[in-house]
C-alpha cells in the first residue's frame, strides 16, 4: 500500500493504521488523532512533539519506515477484508459510532459492525450463566419478551446459555437484538451459534466487536466485551449467575458506568440452586458485604462501599407485577429530560 500521507487520523483508515503500529494501543492512537490531522503529520513529528502523547516504544515505531509500511499494509488488508465480509469499520469520530459508548472512559476508538446499528438506540443488556436452570430459562424468556414488547433491543454476548436464549427469544418475539462479540467478526464463537448470528443480522439487529479480524475470543477479550454490553445499554438484566462467573464482570461494568441493574428473585427450590447464589447476593446483600464476596478492589470496591453501603446493588424483580415499574424506570433513564421522567422512574423503583 502506498504511503497515503493525507489520510485523516480520525478516519477509520487512519485509526486502524495507527493501531496497527507496534507499541501503539487504542489510547495512543486516539491521542495522536487528537493532536495531528493526517498520518503524514504523525510520521513527520519530531520526537519532542510525541513526548507525553505516546510511549517511547510507539515513538520508535513511528520513526521506523519498515514498521510504518507494515502497519499501513495490515490496515489496508483489514479494510479490504471488511468490505468483503460486509463489515463496517467505525471510528469513534464517526456519526454512526454508538453515542452510548462515546462517553465511556475506556471507549474503543474502532468498532467493527455488521447489520443495522439503529437497533442500538434503545438497548438493554440481558446476560447470565452458560448453564441456566429451569428458573433461569423461564425468567429470561419472560423478561426478554416483555422488554421486546416495549420496544427495547436486547444486547447480549452470543454465548451459550442465557445469552443465546436472550437473542433467540427477542427474534421469536419480533424484536431486534445485538450480539457484542469477544473476537473478530470474521468468525463466530461458539461456532454452534453461527446460524443465530446470521438470524440476528437478518432480523434487523447487528453484530459488534472492537477486535480486529483474526483475533480470538480470549478470556481477556471476553471481559473487555462485557463493558461494551453494559455501555450500550441503559440497564443490565442478570437472569441467573453464581457469585463467581463471567456475568459478574458485566455487573461491575454496569455499576461503574452508572447503569441500572435488575435481577429476578428466585424462590423456594430455585433459591437453593448454585446458579442462583449470585442473584441472591445482588438483590439481598448490602454493597459492603458484596464487595468482600466478589473480591472487589480499587474504584469498584470504593463504589460498592460509598454508593451502596447497606443497600443491595440490583433492583429485584419479585414477579411479573414488577414489570410496569421496571419498564418505567428504564424509560426514565433513556429520556431523563422528558417532563417528570427522572422523578417518575425513581418513584417506581422505590416501589419494587
Quote the pTM value.
0.92
Reported as a single tens digit per residue, the pLDDT across 113-123 is 999 999 898 99
Between 156 and 50, the higher pLDDT residue: 156
Reported as a single tens digit per residue, the pLDDT across 249-285 is 999 999 999 999 999 999 999 999 999 999 999 999 9
Nearest to 282 by CA among 273, 274, 272, 294: 294
Whether the predicted pLDDT of 349 surpasses 70: no
Q: What is the pLDDT of residue 189?
A: 92
Mean pLDDT of 146-174: 98
Quote the CA–CA distance of 263 and 237 in Å, as a whole number. Answer: 6
Averaged pLDDT of the chain: 91
Reported as a single tens digit per residue, the pLDDT across 40-50 is 999 999 888 89
Reported confidence tier of residue 332, pLDDT bands at 50, 70, 90 = very high
Q: What is the pLDDT of residue 334?
A: 78
For residues 276 and 270, the answer to whether their CB atoms sit within 8 Å is yes
Reported confidence tier of residue 51, pLDDT bands at 50, 70, 90 = confident
For residues 237 and 263, the answer to whether their CB atoms sit within 8 Å is yes
Mean pLDDT of 142-149: 98
Q: What is the pLDDT of residue 23?
A: 86
Reported as a single tens digit per residue, the pLDDT across 170-227 is 999 999 999 999 999 999 999 999 999 999 999 999 999 999 999 999 999 999 999 9
| Percent of the chain with pLDDT strictly greater than 70 | 94
Whether the predicted pLDDT of 341 surpasses 70: no
Reported confidence tier of residue 335, pLDDT bands at 50, 70, 90 = low
For residues 182 and 250, the answer to whether their CB atoms sit within 8 Å is no
**Torsion sign across C-alpha atoms 148, 154, 159, 163:** negative
Reported as a single tens digit per residue, the pLDDT across 239-252 is 999 999 899 999 99
Reported as a single tens digit per residue, the pLDDT across 58-78 is 898 898 989 999 999 999 999
Reported as a single tens digit per residue, the pLDDT across 215-233 is 999 999 999 999 999 999 9
Between 341 and 31, the higher pLDDT residue: 31
Q: What is the pLDDT of residue 236?
A: 98
Reported confidence tier of residue 336, pLDDT bands at 50, 70, 90 = very low
User: Domain segments of the chain: what residues?
Assistant: 12-85, 114-318
Of 136-140, 265-269, 332-336, least confident by mean pLDDT is 332-336
Fold observed for domain 114-318 = Rossmann fold (3.40.50)
Amino acid at each position: 500500500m502506498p504511503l497515503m500521507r493525507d489520510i485523516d487520523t480520525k478516519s477509520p483508515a487512519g485509526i486502524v493504521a495507527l493501531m496497527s503500529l507496534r507499541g501503539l494501543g487504542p489510547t495512543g492512537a486516539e491521542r495522536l488523532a487528537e493532536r495531528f490531522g493526517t498520518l503524514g503529520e504523525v510520521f513527520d513529528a519530531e520526537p519532542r512533539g510525541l513526548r507525553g502523547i505516546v510511549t517511547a516504544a510507539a515513538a520508535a515505531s513511528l520513526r521506523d519506515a519498515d514498521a510504518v509500511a507494515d502497519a499501513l499494509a495490515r490496515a489496508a488488508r483489514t479494510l479490504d477484508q471488511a468490505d468483503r465480509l460486509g463489515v463496517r469499520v467505525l471510528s469513534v469520530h464517526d456519526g454512526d459510532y454508538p453515542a452510548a459508548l462515546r462517553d465511556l472512559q475506556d471507549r474503543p476508538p474502532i468498532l467493527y459492525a455488521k447489520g443495522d446499528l439503529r437497533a442500538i438506540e434503545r438497548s438493554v443488556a440481558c446476560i447470565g450463566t452458560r448453564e441456566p436452570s429451569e428458573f433461569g430459562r423461564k425468567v429470561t424468556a419472560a423478561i426478554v419478551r416483555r422488554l421486546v414488547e416495549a420496544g427495547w433491543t436486547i444486547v447480549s454476548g452470543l454465548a451459550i446459555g442465557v445469552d443465546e436464549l436472550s437473542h433467540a427469544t427477542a427474534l421469536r418475539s419480533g424484536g431486534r437484538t445485538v450480539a457484542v462479540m469477544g473476537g473478530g467478526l470474521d468468525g463466530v464463537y461458539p461456532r454452534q451459534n453461527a446460524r443465530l448470528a446470521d438470524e440476528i443480522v437478518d432480523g434487523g439487529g447487528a453484530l459488534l466487536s472492537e477486535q480486529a479480524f483474526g483475533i480470538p475470543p480470549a478470556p481477556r477479550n471476553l471481559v473487555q466485551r462485557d463493558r461494551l454490553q453494559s455501555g450500550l445499554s441503559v440497564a443490565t438484566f442478570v437472569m441467573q449467575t453464581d457469585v463467581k462467573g463471567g456475568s459478574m464482570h458485566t455487573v461491575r461494568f454496569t455499576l461503574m458506568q452508572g447503569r441500572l441493574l435488575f435481577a429476578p428473585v428466585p424462590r423456594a427450590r430455585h433459591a437453593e440452586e448454585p446458579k442462583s447464589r449470585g442473584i441472591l447476593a445482588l438483590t439481598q446483600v448490602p454493597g459492603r458485604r458484596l464487595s468482600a464476596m466478589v473480591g472487589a478492589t480499587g474504584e469498584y470496591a470504593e463504589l460498592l462501599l460509598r454508593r451502596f453501603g447497606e443497600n443491595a446493588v440490583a433492583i429485584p424483580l419479585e414477579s411479573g407485577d414488577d414489570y410496569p415499574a421496571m419498564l418505567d424506570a428504564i424509560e426514565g433513564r433513556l429520556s431523563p429530560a422528558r417532563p417528570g421522567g427522572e422523578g417518575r422512574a425513581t418513584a417506581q423503583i422505590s416501589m419494587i
